[in-house]
Amino acid sequence: MPAIPDFAREAAAIARGLGPVAGVDEVGRGPLAGPVMAAAVVLDPARIPAGLGDSKALSAARREALYPLILDQAIAVGTGLADRAEIDTLNILRASHLAMVRAVAALGIIPGLVLIDGNLIPRDLVHPAEAVVKGDAHCLSIAAASIVAKVLRDRIMVDLAQQHPGYGWERNAGYPTRDHLAALKNLGVTPHHRRSFRPVHNILYQEN
């Protein structure tokens, strides 16, 4: 049974005078194409949308239903991304952290504490922060951020799928599914494919 996130970590930080508390998560490390997207969310303790959970454990319809509730009821929401070129230049971990830093900067308020999903804190983050392993399954703020990031990135990939049909990005969001890998071999590499990722790199190497 999946873990149910709660507000305990955020509430404890607020009680210590560390509010507002922002939860931060990213999506899109694994795909072969498209950006990595991050979101930062400061929830209002009195207006937390019901049903928040790890975006990976929710259906697309449920995420889409929760997305406007988060935007409406949260104290602040910020988003940031790192594009394909930045991923290839920096590496995917550094690009993910860059997107997170951009999301926090876009909040419009200064958080007293940032809860980061994972086991590493972005080195360029200037605010006090804690890393929370599997944070999207344990902290409601991080779960909310994971939903926002997932919804926005999926929408980007649907738009890119219309520009580059045949890769199935509207279904696979750029992840290396069988149909995506087959299209990559048959149709070639697009400007949105990550050159530093092995399946894409290997095709480009063969072409050269």
Instruction: Please indicate, yes or no, if residue 123 is contained in any of the structural domains.
Output: yes
The percent of residues in the chain predicted with pLDDT above 90, rounded, is 93
Could you give the CA distance from residue 41 to residue 142 in angstroms, rounded to a whole number?
7
Instruction: Please indicate, yes or no, if residue 200 is contained in any of the structural domains.
Output: no
pLDDT at residue 92 is higher than 70? yes
pTM of the predicted model, to two decimals?
Answer: 0.96
Residue 54: predicted pLDDT: 87
Calculate mean pLDDT across residues 86-113: 98
Give me the amino acid identity at 6.
Answer: D
Instruction: Please indicate, yes or no, if residue 206 is contained in any of the structural domains.
Output: no
pLDDT at residue 43 is higher than 90? yes
Q: Give the bridge partners for 113, in sequence order.
A: 21
Instruction: Please indicate, yes or no, if residue 203 is contained in any of the structural domains.
Output: no
DSSP 118: S
**Per-residue confidence at 1, pLDDT binned at 50, 70, 90?**
low
**Per-residue confidence at 17, pLDDT binned at 50, 70, 90?**
very high
**Per-residue confidence at 204, pLDDT binned at 50, 70, 90?**
confident
Could you give the CA distance from residue 104 to residue 88 in angstroms, rounded to a whole number?
23
pLDDT at residue 95 is higher than 90? yes
- In total, how many domains does the chain have? 1
CATH number at residue 127: 3.30.420.10
- Domain of residue 101: give its range: 8-164
Could you give the CA distance from residue 13 to residue 26 in angstroms, rounded to a whole number?
22
pLDDT at residue 26 is higher than 80? yes
Question: Could you read off the pLDDT of 147-156 as tens digits, one per residue?
Answer: 999 999 999 9
Question: Could you read off the pLDDT of 174-202 as tens digits, one per residue?
Answer: 999 999 999 999 999 999 999 999 999 99
The percent of residues in the chain predicted with pLDDT above 70, rounded, is 98
Instruction: Please indicate, yes or no, if residue 169 is contained in any of the structural domains.
Output: no
Give me the amino acid identity at 99.
Answer: A
Instruction: Please indicate, yes or no, if residue 186 is contained in any of the structural domains.
Output: no
Contacts of 169-176 with C-beta under 8 Å, sequence gap 24+, read 169/33, 169/34, 173/28, 173/31, 173/34, 174/28, 174/31, 174/32, 174/33, 174/34, 175/30, 175/31, 175/32, 176/30, 176/31, 176/32
Residue 77: predicted pLDDT: 98
Residue 206: predicted pLDDT: 74
Instruction: Please indicate, yes or no, if residue 1 is contained in any of the structural domains.
Output: no
Question: Could you read off the pLDDT of 105-135 as tens digits, one per residue?
Answer: 999 999 999 999 999 999 999 999 999 999 9
Q: Parallel, antiparallel, or unpaired: how do β-strands 21-27 and 113-117 relate? A: parallel
Residue 208: predicted pLDDT: 59
pLDDT at residue 2 is higher than 90? no
Instruction: Please indicate, yes or no, if residue 87 is contained in any of the structural domains.
Output: yes
- Strands in the chain per DSSP E: 21-27, 36-42, 76-82, 113-117, 129-132
